Amino acid sequence: MKVSPVLRMFAPSALALLAGGLAAGASLSAAEPLGLPAIVHPKDNLPTEEKIALGMQLYFDKRLSADDTISCASCHDPAKGFSNGEAVATGVGGLKGGRNSPTILNSAFHTFHFWDGRAKTLEEQALGPVQNPIEMKMSLDEVVGKLNKIEGYKTQFQKVFGTDVTADGIAKAIAAYERTILSGNAPYDQYKAGKQDALSESALRGMKLFFGKAHCSACHAGPSFTDNAFHNIGLPGEDEGRVSISKLAGDKGAFKTPTLRDIARTGPYMHDGSMKTLEEVVEHYNKGGVPNDFLDEEIFPLKLSEQDKADLVAFMKDGLASTEYPDHKAPELP
């Protein structure tokens, strides 16, 4: 089987897509990196090599923004853990958002997207920043019209979707590409698979704390170390988080649990980017956060020693760092 230059840079899971798609609702079988489950694809957006390649181009193309300066990769940069290395996102004209750019890593497994969970699918998420006035600042009609003037995109859309450029096609192509951005096969996964020396002594102690005394796995659970739920972890500030979407009083100040895969690459941390280091994050939880009326019951003082805190950081930094990190580079654009 001939493998295209585009897919050579992807994790082994992407190679399984070369067959040209899967049966409706089927999942990839045993191709994802060690430690991750099989991906279940939407019935109306099955993956193909051509669709993924198109989505990758769109992801890195700054022409999706009003002034040709911002792409998806501007805020979700592979070189920065598929985040942007800054406290908050920066959009057209240098405008600043109010929240940190969440990583795209393992978003294939998320049941909600954005910090407040306002999008339920990657397809829905993909069109959000395009239309946001302080991100890419385009209407869907504007971006569709703009891309339809680029012959290379029109040709690819006809091949992949049988139509000229459409908003639906843009969303599906970007989402198909984003489902190839996977983080797994970390030392933790290798240790769980039987490689007893995969973790350092410090990281091994940190792992035991993570799943034990430190109580981290109460929220950071499952293959991607997230429960895909929303929690108030005792951060100060006026951002009300999930309550603006759910309208449930108990969700005030609650935000989506981020994945911890390759967490050392994705700082700064928290929904507002207020913590620069993992050491700060651990100290926040050790103190039990900042008390408020909606603080989750999972948040309480942990009484960790300095060694405990160092070991927890070692587990997150080293134990959860992928040995197959998807260090994608921008492709040639039409």
Q: Are residues 118 and 221 in the same domain?
A: no
Distance (Å, rounded) from C-alpha 277 to C-alpha 269? 7
Q: How confident is the model at residue 165 (pLDDT cuts 50, 70, 90)?
A: very high
pTM exceeding the 0.85 threshold for the entire prediction: yes
> How buried is 109 (Cβ within 10 angstroms: 0-12 exposed, 13-18 middle, 19+ buried)?
buried
Percent of the chain exceeding pLDDT 70 equals 91
- Say how many domains are in the chain: 2
325 falls within a domain: no
Residue-number span of the structural domain to which 165 is assigned: 5-178
DSSP sequence for 166-197:
-HHHHHHHHHHHHTT------HHHHHHTT-TT
Answer yes or no: is 144 within a domain: yes
171 and 198 inside one domain: no
Alpha carbon distance 225, 229 (integer Å): 11
- Same domain, residue pair 172 and 192: no
Here the CATH number for the domain that contains residue 199 is: 1.10.760.10
**Whether residue 19 sits in one domain with residue 158:** yes
198-249 residue pLDDT tens: 999 999 999 999 999 999 999 999 999 999 999 999 999 999 999 999 999 9
Last residue of a domain, one of 123, 148, 178: 178
Asked whether 200 and 191 are in contact (CB, 8 A), the reply is: no
Q: Which residues pair with 269 in a beta bridge?
A: 275
Q: Would you name the residues annotated as active-site residues?
A: 135
Residues 130 and 253 in one domain: no
Mean pLDDT of 288-296: 95
Confidence grade of residue 5 (pLDDT, cut at 50, 70, 90): very low
- In terms of domains, do 313 and 214 share one? yes
